[in-house]
Chain A
C-alpha cells in the first residue's frame, strides 16, 4: 500500500456487477479520502446499494477491484467490517427480540466493550428510542434508529450509510445529520447514499452521481454548485421583445421563457454575467432575481427528459 493509497478510505476501480442479464454496475471508479463525507446519489436501481454491498463482501463483483480502508473486502472481509459501520437501505431485524438484545448481539459480534455499550445507550437516548421495546412493535422510523445505533455505536473508521434518514421524522433527521458531522469531526469517513439531496448538499464534502450503473459526475459539492448555470428572472417596465431577440447573441446566455406581455424574461446564465448586465443597462429594469441551482437540480439534470445540460449543449 503506497502513501496515496493509505489516504483513501475507499478505492473502487472498474467495478462491474451483474444480476443475471441485468448489469447493475458498469465499471465504476470511485475514490473516497479518509475523513471526508461523501454523498452517493442516484435513483432506485442506479447501483448505489450494489456498490456498498460489494465494499462489505456481501456480494462479489464480476470484475474490478475494491479496497476499503486499505484492505480487500474479499480476502479480508472481517477486518474490513470490523472498522465499518453499515446501515442498509432496507433494514430488517429479528422481529421477536428486543432492541436491547439486537444491539447486544451486534456489540458482541464487534467485540465491543463497556464503551460501546455506553455509547449505544447514549445514542438511544439521543434518538429517543426505548431499548426495552420488541422489534416487532417498532415503527419503521424506530427500526431505522436501531440500525443507526448499530452503525455508530463502535465509533467506526468508515460509515457506510444507505439512505440513513429514510423513515425518520425531521427532528431525528437533523440529529442523524449531526451525528454524521460529529463522526467526521472525530476523523471518521462517511460514505452515504441518499435521495434527500438537501441533506447531501448540507453535509457532503464531495458527491458522486450514479446513473444506470455508471458514475456520471464526481466532484466537490461546492464546485458542482458553483460550476453550474445561474437562473435569472428579469422584469422590465415595458415590453422588451427586441431585447429578447438580442439576448440570443450573447455568449452563454439562454432565454428560457418569456411572459406573454414580453415584460418578464427567464434566463439561464452559463457564462460571464458582465455582458448581460451591460446589455440590460439600456433598458428600464424593475427587478432582477438570480438563483444558483441546488444539488437537486443538478441531480435532475442527469435524469430529466430534456435536461438543462442537454439544452445548453444543444444551444451551443
Chain B
C-alpha cells in the first residue's frame, strides 16, 4: 500500500475530533444566524435610517459601503455570516498548519515514525492532504449549516451551488493561513511561535482590510493582507483572480515548507532554539 496513502489515512483519522470540534459549531452558527434575516427584512424600514445615519468609520465595522446590502438575502449572508468566517477559520488554519509537523516533532513522535521506511516527502504530503480533507469536512459541515439555515429562513431561496461559492473563498483563505504557519513552523523554533505569528497576521490582516475601506492611507497596505482577497459576497459570483492569487501564494509557501522539512534535522523532542546571534549570545 502506498505510504503516502497510509500517512494520509492515519493523519485524517487522528483529526476526526478536530473536524467535529470546529465543524459542528460552524454548522450551528449557520443554523442559528441565517433565519434572523427574516427579522431584519421585516424591520428594514426602522433599521435603514439608523444605518444611514452612522459615520463612515463606524459603518466600516458593519460592512462599510456594503452595509446597506444587509437588507438583501445575499448581503445578509455575506455580512452577518461570511464576513467573520476567515478570522475564525484563519485561526484554525494557523493552529493546524503550525502543528502539522511541528506538534509531533515537539512531542517526540516524529523521530520514531520517520525512522520507519517512509520518505520525508511522503510524510509531508500525506499530512498536507489529510489536513486538506479535514478542512473540506469542516467547510462541508459549515455549508450544511448554512443550507439548513437558508431552508429555515422563509424569505430565502438559493440553489445549493450558490451557497458553496463563498466557501471556496473561505477554503482558499484558511488553506493559505495553514500553509503560512506550516512554513513558519519549519523556520521558527517552536510550533507555538509559528501559530502566534500566523495568528497576528490573521487578526492584523482583518483589521487592515476592514479599515482600508474607510482610511485611504491603508489601501496600499491592504494588498499584503490575505483577507483582502477573501470574497464574502461570492454568492453573486466568485472572482477567480483573487481566489487563485491566494492559492498560488499558498502553494509557494507549501513548497518552502516542504524544502525546509527535507533539509532540516528532526529533533528528538521539544522546542528548537533561535539561532540569531544576539539572542544566542545573551
Contact = CB atoms under 8 A, between A and B. Distances in A.
A138 interface: no
A86 interface: yes
A96 B112 CA distance: 16
B280 interface: yes
A108 B114 CA distance: 13
A78 B114 contact: no
Contacts of A282: none
Interface stretch (A39-47, A52-60, A250-258, A293-301): A52-60
B171 to A, nearest CB: 27
Interface in A251-309: none
Contacts of A49: 268
Contacts of B107: 92
Given A90-B108, A92-B109, A92-B112, A109 B118 contact: yes
A150 B111 CA distance: 14
A111 interface: yes
Given A58-B115, A88-B115, A94-B109, A109 B6 contact: yes
Contacts of A90: 108, 268-269
Contacts of B118: 78, 81, 109
Contact of A109 (B108, B109, B116, B273): B116
Contact of B117 (A89, A91, A92, A111): A111
B240 interface: no
Interface size class of B (residues with CB under 8 A): 20 to 34
B43 interface: no
A60 B111 contact: no
Residue of B1, B14, B111, B119 contacting most chain A CB atoms (<10 Å) = B111
A78 B1 contact: no
B3 interface: yes
A49 B280 CA distance: 24
B268 A94 contact: no
Contact of A58 (B1, B6, B265): B265
A81 B112 contact: no
Nearest to A146: B112
Nearest to B120: A77
A81 B268 contact: no
Nearest to B273: A20
A139 B265 CA distance: 29
Nearest to A82: B117
A58 B112 CA distance: 9
Interface string A203-229: 000000000000000000000000000
A77 B111 CA distance: 14
A84 B6 CA distance: 20
Contacts of A84: 115
Interface in A139-181: 147, 150
Contact of B265 (A59, A78, A89, A91): A59
Nearest to A54: B265
A309 to B, nearest CB: 33
A109 B265 CA distance: 21
Interface in B1-48: 1, 3, 6, 10, 14
Interface string B90-129: 0000000000000000011101111111111000000000
Contacts of A96: 14
Given A105-B10, A110-B116, A60 B1 contact: no
A91 B263 CA distance: 23
B55 interface: no
B218 interface: no
A93 interface: yes
A106 interface: yes
19 contacts: A49-B268, A53-B266, A58-B111, A59-B266, A77-B120, A79-B117, A81-B116, A88-B112, A89-B268, A90-B108, A90-B268, A90-B269, A92-B269, A94-B109, A106-B113, A109-B3, A109-B116, A111-B117, A147-B112
Complex A-B, nearest 6 residue pairs according to Cβ-Cβ distance, in ascending order: A92-B108, A59-B265, A82-B117, A86-B115, A81-B117, A109-B116
Interface of B: 1, 3, 6, 10, 14, 107-109, 111-120, 263, 265-266, 268-269, 273, 275, 280
Given A53-B111, A94-B109, A106-B113, 16 more contacts: A58-B265, A60-B265, A81-B115, A81-B117, A81-B118, A86-B112, A88-B111, A89-B268, A92-B112, A93-B109, A96-B14, A105-B10, A109-B3, A109-B118, A110-B116, A111-B1
